[in-house]
Amino acid sequence: MKQAFNLRLATETIAKDAQELGVSIEELENISIKVSAEIIQQPALQLVLTYQVTLPSQILANQFNWPTWQQTQVNFTDYLWEETCLECFIAGSKIVRCKTDDEDIVARHQTEPYKIPFQQATAYIEINANPDGRYALYQFESYRNPAALPPLPLYETDETTRASINWRNCKELADISGENPLSSTPTVVQTPFRYGRSFSLPITQLPNQQYAIANIMIEQIHPCVILWFGKTDLYFASGHASPPDFHNRDYWPNFEL
């Protein structure tokens, strides 16, 4: 079960960005970002997000801020959007888990242990991940609400444990742009220049082939990326508001796994 996304560059400032970076507008338009969202069952039920970035020129690769993944960097960190950031927004109805000692009520809900409240599909989750291993997960009740910065962390269903991500295959993905991580001998890679990261989040299966992260049913999913080249930041998503606004759900695809 996999859903694929081709991200495109927000173009409001593309002429200025190209001038700053010393490349053509066409080169910026040819930056390719592909994201896949996949549900896997083993070793546990997870949503896997894989990001693949392809740059069309050496000039862009030389300026690209893409840090090496390090185990020691893996921790919850705020304000990651101020650097190269792999992001994903997930929206859906907030679910209420039935908790009761009444055996009759429990029995009635054994096949449907979740209730959807009357306020539908306004809550959402924001995931931030830096290629070096740092990450953050936030929760919002509605559009940019609460408005506090940094945003409120997302908690697991126990409401006390901060949600986290699990990095996957990072030794293999750490430097696919310039070296073969399985070889001790560096290999020269011709253009295009490729970079990638993959991470997963634990999910819960609901009735009717639906899934949830923490207490949010997955109904929309919006992978997006901020890439920094020196002091120039570029924004990528499958669809853009004007000016770019990753939080605008009018541009979020439906979750179709």
- The distance in angstroms from the start CA to the end CA of the chain is 6
Q: In the structure encoding, which two tokens stand for residue 191, read together?
A: 């253009």
pTM, two decimals, is 0.85
Tens digits of per-residue pLDDT, 201-223?
999 999 888 999 988 999 999 99
Count of other CB atoms within 10 angstroms of residue 89: 22
Tens digits of per-residue pLDDT, 123-157?
999 999 999 999 999 999 999 999 999 999 999 88
Average of per-residue pLDDT across 30-43: 95
Q: What does DSSP assign to residue 152?
A: P
Distance CA 240, CA 246 (A): 7
Distance CA 249, CA 125 (A): 12
Q: In the structure encoding, which two tokens stand for residue 40, read together?
A: 């896997």
**C-alpha to C-alpha distances, 109 to 115, 186, 214, nearest whole angstrom:** 9, 58, 19
Q: Which residues pair with 54 in a beta bridge?
A: 32, 194
Taking 3-state DSSP, the helix, strand and coil percentages for the chain, each rounded to the nearest 5, stand at 15, 35, 50
Q: What is the pLDDT of residue 181?
A: 35
> 3-class DSSP state for residue 163?
coil
Range in 6-15, 125-134, 199-208, 231-240 with the lowest mean pLDDT = 199-208
pLDDT band at 98 (very low <50, low <70, confident <90, very high): low
What domains are there in the chain, each with its CATH number? Answer: 2-251 (2.60.40)
Most confident of 94-103, 107-116, 175-184, 222-231: 222-231
Please give the mean pLDDT across all residues of the chain.
85
Which residues, at least 6 apart from 250, have a Cβ–Cβ distance to it below 8 Å?
241
